[in-house]
Amino acid sequence: MKKHIGFITLDFSLAHWLSDALRSAPRTPAAQELLDGVGELMNGSTQSLMLELGEGEHAAVTEDTLCCGGLSIDWRLRRVSRDGVEISLTPKEFDILYFLARNRGEVFTKEQIYQAVWESDYLLDDSNIMAFIRKLRKKIEPNPDSPQYILTIWGIGYKFSDKL
């Protein structure tokens, strides 16, 4: 499944209205980020924003936690557990897992995963992502040789299973 991205031109009057509306919205981190982003658009310090719906279509979300099968991923606390047992992950392993899990069922190339998780330019070395995926599987999968969470889509990349 491809990720579809839509671009909408926001004129100044609509941006101003959105900014005013966000000031009376519930105080959440996402609302504040959007308010800050609209402010940056209005003052010219940025030219575009990318918005993403945070709740996965099939994932159960409880506040800041994604629950996928026996796996629980708490974004706020940066904790992962499987069947109630906490799993220790490195920061990048956590970021990759969270990115894939919140986009369950969507297939991503190694380059897309890299660009979503790292703040630097993509290195033309696929083995970097492959190594992280291998380490992640060893930690989160009941049977890493037959993964049920992070699936390989041969010739394309990886996806987080939407069957759990």
Q: List the pLDDT tens digit at each of the 164 positions of the chain.
A: 345 556 677 788 888 888 888 777 667 777 788 888 888 888 888 777 777 665 444 445 445 788 898 999 998 899 999 999 999 999 999 999 999 999 999 999 998 898 888 876 656 565 689 999 999 999 999 999 999 999 999 999 999 999 88
* pTM reported for the whole predicted model: 0.62
The SS3 call for residue 158 is strand
Q: Which architecture characterizes domain 60-160 according to CATH?
A: Orthogonal Bundle (1.10)
Strands ordered across the beta sheet of 150-153: 108-109, 157-160, 150-153
State how far the Cα of 129 lies from the Cα of 151, in Å rounded to an integer. Answer: 13
C-alpha R_g of the chain: 18
CB distance 139 to 88 below 8 Å: yes
Question: Token match 């992502």: residue?
Answer: 129
Which residue spans of the chain are classified as CATH 1.10.10.10? 60-160
